Structure 1
Amino acid sequence: MKQVDLSLSESGPDRVLAAEILRAAREAERCTLGLESFGILKAYGIPAVRTAFTKTEEEAFGVAEEIGYPLVMKVVSPQISHKSDVGGIRLSLENGDEVRAAYRDMMENIPEKRPDAVLEGVQLQQMLSGGKEVIIGMVQDPTFGPMLMFGLGGVYVEILKDVQFAIAPVDEEEARGMVTGIKTYPLLAGARGEKPSDIDALIDAILRVSRLVCDFPEIEEFEINPMMVLEEGTGACAVDMRLKLKKN
């Protein structure tokens, strides 16, 4: 087994917080986590957009006023993985009236498309402008263990299938190789006069994910998609994530 320095660039992880989130999920017999696992990102120092979970229209309105506009609203349901397919995502909400209307529309229309789905509420997030979408993921390989993955995120990962893999844990050189190794790296480096993306922030995020999945081998799958990477020197920020625990 390769020996790798797992030290992070800044403060170390809060394993206790992450362990508590995973323990609560197991006690609730939930193997797949979404919004509720955002605390794990915080525990490992991975920047994420400001986000909140609300169960009612009034809660959504109040939280929206607190977070500020523009906002993104996403339906929260264990049975719905691809939210956009059922109208479960609203972008660029600019005021409270739009928040209320979007909430009512989701609660009324999604059950017609997915009568099997339990709608627990909605997730509200800051809407980021600019940047490029990337994906950082992991899947447990039966032979090699945690296998990290990096590529362009959003719809591009499914269309282009341009990703790089590495066995965790990785060091900084390996993390950089994952980023620079994708065919579309020139888009991140600054193509056609664009300013380069914050590559160092991506490398740091990969190192933190590597540390996380090595600390908690019960994580079967992990995915940040998208992570918005901003211009060089301004960071990267997780927008959505999914985590799946081993059933045993």
Structure 2
Amino acid sequence: MTAVERAASSTRSALRALLAGEALVGEDVGAAFAGPGEVLGEAALARRVREQGAAVVVAREPSPTLLRALRERPPALLVITGPELPVGLSSRTLGPAAELAIEGGELVIVGPDAAALAGLRAAFEAAGMRPRLSLCPAPGWLPEWLAAPELAGCRTAGMVPAASLHAGWARWARTAGARQVVVPLGVEAPRVDQPRHPSLGQAAAAHALERLTGPVFPSPGVLALLLDAESMSHGTGPKEHVVEGMSEEAASAAALWRQARRALPLQGDDHGMEAPHPGLRRRGPANATTDAFLAQRALLRRERAEALVRAAADEAAPTLEPAALARAEEVLRSAGQALSEHESKVVLRGFGIEVTRQAVASSASGAAQFAEQIGFPVVLKAVSPDLRRKQELGAVVLDLTTSAAVRRAYATIVSNVEERAPTAHLDGVLVAEQIGEGLEIHCGAVALQSGETALFGRALAGHQEVVLRLSPLDPAEAMLFAQAIVAGVPLRRKEDPGLRELAGLLLRLDALVRHFGAASADSEGRLELVDLSPVRLCAGPRGYVTLDARIVQRAHLEGL
């Protein structure tokens, strides 16, 4: 058993002891702990821990005597209700300022602090949902509890700060589905250009928690409404308001809803926001129009996501050509740590990913010949591992429509590199087809601190958020991922390719990650970064084309 597996086993044993009423509780803890357990004075608690040990210990501010006992016989879980966590302890901890309650319901509630937890409890209890377990502050190890058989059947709701998020939350969220509404708080934009950056695991967890609903407004009333809501089948959702024949109460609610749509037009104009959703059970303090309005947007996104999952149920995984795959393996083995654009595209082509038709020329006449074979218009780019901002250096020339223009462009690129980057090693000039207009996507894959790999994607239209998903993907997850990437794109054109093309690209990118990840003993953890920027969605049988690409692998002595 690995250290991680031992820690998870210990954490789950703490849950079993807690639910069985076997916790040892200091008498000064007070209302911060509510549930079965044995209450002891400070001296008796220290003696019991030292002599018999304990699975769970709940204390406010442990005395030196109790701290010595906790170091000698560390419990599986130490709950600290006081303002500071003790140092030098090996136990899993909940705290500081922890609150923990064990009851008889079927809901797990988690909050970032005591005030937020109280608000969440009030909202869910008003909606008729009783908790089985409620706790704060949200611990990073909580997914181990949520996946335990003892909490099977429980729904989960609450808010978790970014500092507690990691890839383990993403794994749990994928299995929990619509049985959870957990809102991530304070998640920063992920640094997808920096493998193993801490922001990557946090963002992957946050986006997995939101995979069905999209971002949820962090209000207890919104969470209560959404968790209790029923998705409706197609055609049974909200209809336009009909005032005639309504009761006075219903007419008043319709008037409030119309005003909410006027006050928030971007949200109110969404399809399905014409009237209150019949699946939202508006009761208790959560019946405020604001909470219902914001919950409905998330519920509609969840319904669309569930429809995508159903539609993708019969989709097959992509097939790979053995010869192209062998060529990709050969290129990766012989390449350096950072592959050139041309090398990167050869690897991508091995997994069936559409890339520009291209060739590397070493002379102006050779470039012109390649351009004639590829077909005009073409693009010329310098090939060099030392150049990152090629356009700024004049090392990229677009819209070349004749052989003469290609020759001139070749000479211009060589001259610009020699003048503006004299130390750069030029490996030739890339001649590539120029692709027509279309929606552009930045996507790829990046290594996480945990050793896992996340795929990422962002539409390059407006200020769209980068979305991450843990590998591996199945066809349904790929469709959800594609939808999340383009969800915020304004005014998508009818001629833009649908989600299926983008989902197919993501599945092939995932196949690349898995093949050169833990798929074989000689290539474990090889890829650090796969960066496709941009991929242009386009009409026609190809559906998309990768215009530029960069692959970074671990140093051969390290990764092979």
SS in 2 for 1:74: strand
Q: Aligned match of 1:203 in 488, 503, 518?
A: 503
Q: What amino acid sits opposite 1:162 in the alignment?
A: E
Q: How many residues align?
A: 236
Question: How far did residue 67 of structure 1 move?
Answer: 1.3
How far the C-alpha of 1:133 sits from its partner, in A, is 1.0
Code of the aligned partner of 2:359: A
Aligned residue number for residue 16 of structure 1? 326
Where in structure 2 are the equivalents of 1:105-144 lying within 5 Å? 105-144=412-451
Bigger strand share: 1
Distance 2:417 2:399 in 1: 20
User: Unpaired segments of 5 or more residues in structure 1?
Assistant: none
Query: Can you list the C-alpha shifts for 1:217-243, whole angstroms capped at 9, x where unaligned?
Result: 201100111111124876111111100
Asked if the contact 1:198–1:232 (Cα under 8 Å) also holds between the matched residues in 2, the reply is no
C-alpha spacing 1:161/1:32, structure 2 compared with 1 (3 Å): farther
Secondary structure, aligned partner of 2:391: helix
Please give the residue correspondences for 1:184-223 in structure 2 after superposition, counting only pairs within 5 Å.
185-187=488-490, 191=491, 194-217=494-517, 218-223=526-531
Query: What's the Cα RMSD here?
Result: 2.5
Q: Contact 2:464–2:489 (CA<8 Å) still a contact in 1?
A: no
Change in CA separation of 1:8 and 1:90 when aligned onto 2, cut-off 3 Å = farther
In the alignment, the residues of structure 2 paired with residue 211 and residue 171 of structure 1 have an alpha-carbon distance, to the nearest angstrom, of 10
Matched AA of 2:534: P
Aligned ranges for residues 6-45 of structure 1 at < 5 Å?
A: 9-14=317-322, 15-25=325-335, 30-33=336-339, 34-45=341-352
TM-score, with length taken from structure 2: 0.40
Distance in 2 (alpha carbons) for counterparts of 1:103 and 1:233: 31
Does structure 1 residue 78 correspond to structure 2 residue 385? Answer: yes
Equivalent residue number for residue 102 of structure 1: 409
Paired with 1:60 and 1:169, the residues of 2 have a C-alpha distance of 40
- Given that 1:73 and 1:125 are in contact with CA atoms closer than 8 Å, whether structure 2 keeps it comes out as yes
Shift in CA distance, 16/234, structure 1 to aligned 2, threshold 3 Å: closer
What SS is found at the alignment partner of 1:85?
A: coil
Tell me which of the two structures has the higher relative contact order, counting C-alpha pairs closer than 8 angstroms and 6 or more residues apart.
1
Q: What is the TM-score normalised by the length of structure 1?
A: 0.86
Q: 1:168 aligns with which of 461, 467, 471?
A: 471
**SS of 2:387's equivalent?**
coil
Give the deviation of 1:92 after TM superposition: 0.4
Contact 2:436–2:538 (Cα < 8 Å) also in 1:
no
Moved more, 109-118 or 214-223: 109-118
Distance 1:45 1:8, change over 3 A: farther
Is residue 148–residue 165 contact of structure 1 (8 Å, CA) maintained in 2? yes
Q: Is this contact kept in 2: 1:227–1:239, CA < 8 A? A: yes
DSSP 3-state at the match of 1:79: coil
Cα distance in 2 for partners of 1:17, 1:95 equals 32
AA at the equivalent of 1:76: V
| Paired residue type of 2:338 | T
Aligned equivalents of 1:192, 1:20: Cα separation in 2: 40
| Cα pair 1:195 1:232 within 8 Å, conserved | no
Structure 1 residues 103, 215: closer, same or farther in 2, change over 3 A?
same
Of 354, 357, 364 in structure 2, the residue corresponding to residue 47 of structure 1 is 354
Name structure 2 gaps, 5 residues minimum: 1-167, 176-312, 518-525
Which amino acid in the other structure matches residue 537 of structure 2? V
**Could you tell me the percent identity over the aligned residues?**
26
Contact 1:151 1:179 in 2 (8 A): no
Q: CA deviation at 1:83?
A: 1.2
Q: How many angstroms apart in 2 are the aligned matches of 1:192 and 1:221?
A: 29
| SS in structure 1 of the partner of residue 382 of structure 2 | strand
- The CA deviation at 1:54 is 0.8
1:236 aligns with 2:544: yes
In structure 2, the CA distance between the partners of 1:8 and 1:116, relative to structure 1 (3 Å rule), is farther
